[in-house]
Structure 1
Amino acid sequence: MTEQKLMATDYHRATSYRRHELTPHTLDWAHQPMPVKHYPELPRVPLDRSGKLPAVDYFDLMNRRQAIDSSRPEALDFRKISTAFSLTHDITARTMHAGTPFYYRSVASAGALYPVELYLAVHHIDGIDPGVYHYHLFNFCLTALRRGPVPEIPPADHGVSATFYITGIFFRSAWKYRDRAYRYVLLDAGHLLENLRLALGALDLSFSIHLDFDDERAATLLGLDSQREACLACVHLHEGNAGKKQTVAPRDLEPLSAEIRQASTVSDREVAYADILAVHRAGNGINNTPAEDRPVLHVLDNPPSAWVDLNLPDHPGSADYARMLWQRRSRRNFIPSSGTRENPMTFLDLMARNIGTVSTPPSVRSAITLGVLAGMGMPVPPGFYLLDPDAKRLGCVLAGQLTEPMAAACLDQMWLKHAALHVLFMTDPAALDRTWGARGYRYAMIEAGRLGQQAYLAATALGWGACGIGAIYDREAADLLDLATDGVLLYLVGAGPVKTR
């Protein structure tokens, strides 16, 4: 990618898959990226597993709308923070693959490569000193990177007790996906962000999500090597003494040591893909576009010809959220089903109500368009539909059985044709570029990942399986859906009944 090709449209086009044009690529297993960051000898703080996980019904949790509330009197303590980490990103099972242990996690990841990392900046939490900490998933502990008061990044209007930071390490995904990996790093950041959002909601905490901040300042705060690892999302906790501005004023940050920054290197033979660095840097900085300025996405040339109401059941059922989170898996052994109307409609309602939640920034709410491919056995005829989240209805764009040709467009992963439905996350990169520049691509991909994680959870709650697909013959899929010239399919999640043991 040249210096003139810095926008999302150019990156997406340059990294598109085309049938018969994929360059052979052998995985360098001898230099596979490490799944854990290794820091020099730094103090560790064991997290507390003694707290009970919240007994929250998943369907009730979907009805909650978190907002900043600085009037709550209780202080945020270490045990509650520990539970938040457990509900956000934890080991859920262990198995052996070719003599090597493999650990299942509570969050989905493209290729099970897990490029994302989680950090915590503590301002005032009972039981833990102020500073910046890195979350060690396998040891369930925090590594202290900075000690003492630190500034809020990004600055907040309400007092902040702590801030979670989600980062992505490019090479963990690029080891397999090369220059296309930026797509998957952003999707995986969205997967993790949704788990964090739901964890904080289950704990009844007040929080705000931020995708706009000074990238370099955040990297300095966290001690990242910005050539290899980037901050992608911030979540402020407004709890306890949040009404009082107790955090330090913005000031110059001293860079952390070279040894700490070296931890962003996860292999001794890394490849830096210029396309990834170029498109990410093009989106650096704070987006000052007014919140009311939204892109007009031109995804389809032809609007839906007819609309169908979801007609939701009165009682969708119940599912213990924490238990369900531990049961989530990528499952692809779909079976054709002629089941009841309730499950598909409940699934689509859960997707619709999570588009543009109150806790997400206004920008991301208009960054994507959601579609559905209905397969056989659905309560609507097979075809391609748009999902209208406000009116809770489906609009028919194309009639016909499209799940099989879409499976072919997904690099011939033909098991996908048996899914009851395909959830389609689409956007118009040119419109994102015009409105927000290259940073708009982050909004769209992170939001697609966030909703994709929700699709996994909704499927699990209904006893279904789900599997996300980012490997797509891009133009082939767009032609199948008859998308507009600038319309693209970012991500697809197949969902539906699966074989059970």
Structure 2
Amino acid sequence: MSQKILTAAGYHRATSYRRHGLTPHSLDWAHQPVPVKRYPQPDRVPLDHDRKLPPLDYPGIMRHASPGHPAAPDIQVMATVFRLAHDVTARAMHGGQPFHYRSVASAGALYPFELYLAAHHIDGLAPGLYHYNLFDFSLTALRRGPVPAIPPVNRGIAATFYITGIFFRSAWKYRSRAYRYVLLDAGHLLENLRLALGALGMDFSIHLDFDDRRAATLLGLDPRREACLVGVHLHGAPAAEMGTGAAGDPKPLAGDILRASVVSDREVAYPDILRIHRAGHAVETGSAGAPPELAVMKKTPASWIGLDPPEFPVPADYARILGQRRSRRNFLSASVSRADLMSFLDLVTGHMGAASAMPPSCRSALATGFLAGSGMPVSPGFYLLDPDARRLGCVSGGGFTESMARACLDQMWLKHAGLHLLFMTDLDALDRTWGPRGYRYAMIEAGRLGQQVYLAATAMGWGACGIGAIYDREAADLLDLSDDGALLYLVGAGPVKRR
């Protein structure tokens, strides 16, 4: 086993793209992964998709989408949560095959994530473990009766949502690099789930640290193919404080349940993915919980600009934004007012830093910034975002967007985007503080914030498109990052051409 794969820095560098160093790779269309898990003789619980969604103001959600007050949820509320978290928003035919647009962004539209629900105290839903099927809007019962809460906490739990990733759905296209996209996509889905729970005023907590093997056994996953990445506890009313489910370890599910993690008749195993994921099984406590000192950039901002509160908050219905969210690349070089830029940044930074409901490990694993193009009301250049101090700092002036488009595998449409949102980390700091598991924190947080860029851009009437395909060192050198600094994810955003 290659030791360099057993660290965040080692895996990231081993799977880096290098100009003139990419190996040609054709897609096996005859064995493309299926988009839904196939369970034997499923015991389904239908959910109500016809019920009208409550009116939800998106800017208001961004100011208040944090844990609320305990409430006694019922199955109708759960149906609303699932619709807001992950839903089909449109259908089309691509290449003679049906294609389903979804409310969640995904690299290459491969959707490696799955969503599960462990019900403990849900009115109208028997205790047990369920898998969510968005195509027929139902829950598949995998276990009946009380199930343990993973991870255990000293609070009553009404239910737990689990987000998993199926490796081959992304590896079919991205090979060994796919672990990056599986984590990013888990973050995309997590942000929608977090916003849904916050919008409905629910009390919840997000967990990325738990016993990986125990979680896989509970969910009935084939650990060679699918992994649990996130758990979100929904804390219930005081009556639920009496218990959260079964004690002890979950019993393994039948082999045909595990085989549902197989999504293609011809799967290729990429050892680097399993190596880095299994290397992160152990949860490191870090240095007494202190956040790491990220040395992402060689330079610090020479000057800072305060983020103005929006004069006129953008009115937007949240359900409409979810329905209209798309990856759009037809960027238009156009002028953007200062008020619009500040409104956009207010939405994007609303739940960064101390205001985030994420675990401290995620909040401190990233540095965020953006490249401003020629149409922005600030000078073209590279800016760092400081969400806690509500300011942005100019690291370097000048035009970067065309060069960054070249560093993103020469996707030159990207040069027309008014903004390139940047999610960066210090790989060595991740390893020193949390070990290989730190890579999960940084990538999932980058995906979570990337989904927020999609939603904020949609609210503004702009377009957005995420980019994970990057000549890694070329992009880092362009930004003058440190030797261990890395650009994990880029999301282009700005005005787009109207059809």
What TM-score range do you get, normalising by the shorter chain?
A: over 0.9
Deviations 1:263-308 (A, max 9, x none): 0010111111111000000111334346632111110111111111
SS for the counterpart of 2:265 is: coil
Please list the CA deviations of residues 193-235 of structure 1 after superposition, one character each: whole Å capped at 9, or x if unmatched. 0000011112111111000000000000000000000000000
Query: Within the alignment, does 1:162 sit opposite 2:152 as a pair?
Result: no
Name which of structure 1's ranges 197-206 and 49-58 shifts more when overlaid on structure 2: 49-58
Give the conservation status (yes or no) of the 8 Å contact 2:311–2:339.
no
Please point out which of 259, 268, 271 is paired with 1:271. Answer: 268
Distance 2:242 2:261 in 1: 32
1:244 is paired with a residue of what secondary structure? helix
How far apart are the structure 2 equivalents of 1:94 and 1:19? 36
Residue 31 of structure 1 is matched in structure 2 by 31
Given that residues 356 and 363 in structure 2 are in contact (C-alpha distance below 8 angstroms), is that contact kept between their aligned partners in structure 1?
no
Matched letter for residue 115 of structure 1 = P
The answer to whether the aligner puts 1:334 opposite 2:328 as a matched pair is no
| Counterpart check, 1:213 vs 2:210 | yes
| 2:397 alignment partner in structure 1 | 399
Alignment of 1:307-326 (within 5 A): 307-326=304-323
| Alpha-carbon distance in structure 2 between the residues aligned to 1:68 and 1:311 | 27
Is contact 1:409-1:473 (8 Å) kept? yes
Contact 2:69 2:203 in 1 (8 A): yes
Following superposition of structure 1 onto structure 2, how do residues 82-481 of structure 1 map, counting pairs within 5 Å?
82-241=79-238, 244-289=241-286, 292-356=289-353, 357-481=355-479
Rounded to whole Å, the distance in 2 between the matches of 1:402 and 1:312 is 27
Once the two structures are superposed, what CA deviation does each residue of 1:40-96 show, in whole Å capped at 9, x if it has no partner? 0021000122432121110010000523644x4xx2100000110011111000111
Q: CA deviation at 1:454?
A: 0.1
**Partner letter of residue 41 of structure 1?**
Q
TM-score (norm 2): 0.98
Secondary structure of 2:310's counterpart equals coil
Which whole-Å CA distance do the structure 1 matches of 2:270 and 2:65 have between them? 40
* SS across alignment from 1:95: strand
Q: Secondary structure at the match of 2:115?
A: strand
Count the aligned residue pairs. Answer: 498
Deviates more, 1:101-110 or 1:282-291: 282-291
1:109-144 Cα offsets, whole Å, 9 max, x none, are: 000000000000000111011000001111110100
SS at match of 1:441: helix
CA RMSD of aligned residues (A): 1.3
Moved >6 Å (runs of 4+): none
**3-state secondary structure, aligned to 2:64:** coil
Counterparts of 1:313 and 1:286 in 2: how far apart (Å)?
40
Which ranges of structure 1 fall in alignment gaps of 5 or more residues?
Answer: none
How far 1:377 moved relative to its partner? 1.4
Once the two structures are TM-superposed, the CA of residue 358 in structure 1 deviates from its matched residue by: 4.0
Give the counterpart letter for 1:489 in structure 2.
Answer: L
> What 5-or-longer segments of structure 2 have no aligned partner?
none
Q: Contact conserved, 1:161 with 1:242, CA < 8 A, in 2?
A: no
Compare 271-280 and 301-310 and name the one that shifted more: 301-310
Letter matched to residue 12 of structure 1: H
Q: CA separation in 1, counterparts of 2:442 and 2:419?
A: 22
2:67 aligned partner = 67
Q: 2: CA distance between counterparts of 1:4 and 1:201? A: 40
In 2, Cα distance between equivalents of 1:195 and 1:444: 18
Taking structure 1 as the reference length, the TM-score comes to: 0.97
